[in-house]
């Protein structure tokens, strides 16, 4: 779900140490079919 402070981030509620995301190119983009590595930084908050 988008973050609630501006819609520029993602909040994923899970207890997993790792998470997988699917990134989809749509619209007027042209992206070759391949596997891409994307590095993401995040924070972990205890409830």
DSSP string, 1-47: -B-TTTSSSB------S---------SS----S--------------
Pair 35, 23: CB distance under 8 Å: no
pLDDT at residue number 38:
79
pLDDT at residue number 41:
74
pLDDT at residue number 2:
58
pLDDT at residue number 3:
65
Pair 1, 11: CB distance under 8 Å: yes
pLDDT at residue number 7:
65
pLDDT at residue number 4:
66
How does pLDDT run across 3-40, given as a tens digit for each residue?
666 666 777 777 777 777 777 777 777 778 888 887 77
Task: Residue 22: give the domain boundaries.
Answer: 1-47
Domain count of the chain? 1
């Amino acid at each position: 779900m988008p973050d609630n402070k501006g819609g520029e981030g993602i909040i994923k509620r899970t207890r997993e140490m790792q998470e997988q995301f699917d990134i989809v190119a749509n619209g007027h983009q042209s992206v070759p079919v391949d596997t891409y590595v994307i590095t993401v930084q995040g924070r972990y908050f205890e409830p």
